[in-house]
Amino acid sequence: MAIWGLGNLLFALILVGGVAGHPSCGFPAIYSFGDNNSDTGEHAAMFADVGLPNGQTFFHGPSGRYSDGRVIIDFIAEAFGFPFLSAYLDSYKTNYRHGANFALGGSAIRGGHGFSHTSFLQQVFQFAQFKTRTTALFNKLGSDPKNQSAKSILPRPEEFRKSLFIIDVGQNDFAFDLQHTSLEDTRKQIPEMVKSLVEPISTFLNGRYEARHLVIHNIGPFGCLPYHIKSYQKKNSTCALDQYGCVKELNEAVQEFNRQLKLKIAEARKANPNATITYVDVYSAKYNLISNAKNLGFEDPMKFCCGSYNDQYIRCGEQDSNGKLIGTACNDPSRYISWDGIHYTDAANKLVAKHILNGSLSDPPVSYAEACRI
């Protein structure tokens, strides 16, 4: 995958500097909301760390991420020249100067429809607490030289309204509902899912929260995740697969969610002319990656690197009753798109980030760095 190195460097320079005639917005911070795909330590802070082999490639140890390395929000932060975002609940070496990450593994759009008690709306409320408390502390520390070190890791109160807010959630709604009901019933829930995602946008945009620049990712090709393919086939052995091995009807359901989401975001954009709201087609970025796996140097995209799923699913990092690691990883994660059957590898996340950051899959078609100029 080294052939992408120079291209990624040039891309990052273009992103941060803006394209000709359109300088970047200079966002001072990024605030991230979502689920497993964006979690950088929230689940680890609340419950237990995401243990090895997770984190082995880039961090060389557990990092709170469901991957062998970085997740998409990490590459976005890197492209802006920021450090990786600290998880909101993490208390170890945290630095919130350039934002915070509220994304939590297991979270869903709707409460009671995921694998965590924290919904997207609750993450929005957590941000409200974060904003109130960090602002109060920043002001309390004042100009005393003895307080400047502590003050340097806090967000600047005047910068919240200038920051970029990124939302990536919804995969767990489908995963949870499909465990408990049929695909037909899950599809009936799509309008409610979309409503529950879009309604908090108005909360974000009111005076108390001061968010002005939102980027919303749609849901990726759920029917191409190896774990969910095998899980679904156990109940629906005759389900149709596309030419790459993805379950057609699962992807069709997610695409219907994405279609409705895009329409509602367009309505929200009209209702909030003083804000910028960008819809990003992550589905296409991930599906294009899967459909071009061989040309990009990856193995079969329906195989995954860590753990296994034969008669039963063995999680990445899972141990047997004697403490022996049975959820082992492959020798070269960079040759796999899927890390553990549900989440993506560092190599795959890097390419997905590259293809969404430049704005070619955004509506309106602007890069992340220019997302204040819609």
Residue 155 and residue 94: Cα distance in Å, rounded? 12
Other CB atoms within 10 Å distance of the CB of residue 178: 19
Decide if 239 contacts 232 (C-beta within 8 A). yes
Any domain includes 152: no
Per-residue pLDDT for 10 more than 80? no
Residue 139 and residue 158: Cα distance in Å, rounded? 11
The DSSP call for residue 62 is -
Could you report the per-residue pLDDT of 317-327, keeping only the tens digit for each? 999 999 999 99
pLDDT of 114 reads 86
The model's confidence at residue 5, banded by pLDDT at 50, 70 and 90, is very low
Could you report the per-residue pLDDT of 146-155, keeping only the tens digit for each? 999 999 999 9
Lowest mean pLDDT among 11-15, 39-43, 51-55, 332-336: 11-15
Rounded mean pLDDT of 183-206? 93
Residue 84 and residue 72: Cα distance in Å, rounded? 11
Cα 31 to Cα 96, 114, 126, 321, 356, distances in angstroms: 10, 22, 12, 40, 17
Tokens of 276: 């910028």
Decide if 277 contacts 269 (C-beta within 8 A). yes
| 291 contact partners, CB below 8 Å, separation of at least 6 | 244
Rounded mean pLDDT of 272-279? 94
Cα 15 to Cα 47, 75, 356, distances in angstroms: 36, 12, 11
Any domain includes 43: yes
Rounded mean pLDDT of 164-168? 98
Any domain includes 40: yes
Per-residue pLDDT for 338 more than 90? yes
Any domain includes 171: yes
The model's confidence at residue 288, banded by pLDDT at 50, 70 and 90, is very high
CA 370 to chain centre: 20
pLDDT above 90 covers what percent of the chain?
82
3, burial (CB in 10 Å: exposed 0-12, middle 13-18, buried 19+): exposed
pLDDT of 7 reads 45
Any domain includes 149: no
Any idea what the CATH number is for the domain that residue 275 is in?
Answer: 3.40.50
Residue 359 and residue 282: Cα distance in Å, rounded? 11
For 262-276, give one letter per residue: b (16+ CB within 10 A) or e: eebbeebbeebeebb
Rounded mean pLDDT of 171-184? 96
Rounded mean pLDDT of 5-14? 45
The model's confidence at residue 11, banded by pLDDT at 50, 70 and 90, is very low
User: From start to end of 104-180, where are the E strands?
Assistant: 164-168
pLDDT of 21 reads 42
Lowest mean pLDDT among 59-63, 307-311, 359-363: 307-311
pLDDT above 70 covers what percent of the chain?
93
Any domain includes 109: yes
Residue in this structure with the two tokens 């170890």, named with its chain if needed: 92
Q: Domain residues for 225? A: 2-131+158-370
| 114 contact partners, CB below 8 Å, separation of at least 6 | 35, 106, 107, 108, 172, 173, 176
Decide if 25 contacts 370 (C-beta within 8 A). yes
Q: Sign of the CA dihedral 13, 17, 19, 21?
A: negative
Other CB atoms within 10 Å distance of the CB of residue 368: 26
Per-residue pLDDT for 101 more than 80? yes
Any domain includes 146: no
pLDDT of 50 reads 87
Q: Give the torsion through C-alpha atoms of 216, 219, 220, 224, to 10 deg.
A: 170
pLDDT of 270 reads 94
Q: Which of 95, 122, 209 is nearest to 163 (CA)?
A: 209
* Side chain identity, residue 319: Q
- The number of residues in the chain equals 374
For 290-318, give one letter per residue: b (16+ CB within 10 A) or e: bbebeebebbebbbbbbbbbeeebbbbbb
The model's confidence at residue 165, banded by pLDDT at 50, 70 and 90, is very high
Any domain includes 100: yes
Could you report the per-residue pLDDT of 195-242, keeping only the tens digit for each? 999 999 888 887 788 899 999 999 999 999 999 999 999 999 999 999
Cα 11 to Cα 19, 165, 353, distances in angstroms: 11, 21, 11
| 207 contact partners, CB below 8 Å, separation of at least 6 | none
pLDDT of 23 reads 59
Q: Which of 314, 300, 259, 247 is nearest to 283 (CA)?
A: 259
pLDDT of 2 reads 39
Rounded mean pLDDT of 46-68? 94
Residue in this structure with the two tokens 């100029």, named with its chain if needed: 373
The model's confidence at residue 374, banded by pLDDT at 50, 70 and 90, is low
Other CB atoms within 10 Å distance of the CB of residue 141: 16
pLDDT of 57 reads 96
Mean pLDDT of the chain: 92
What's the total number of domains in the chain?
1
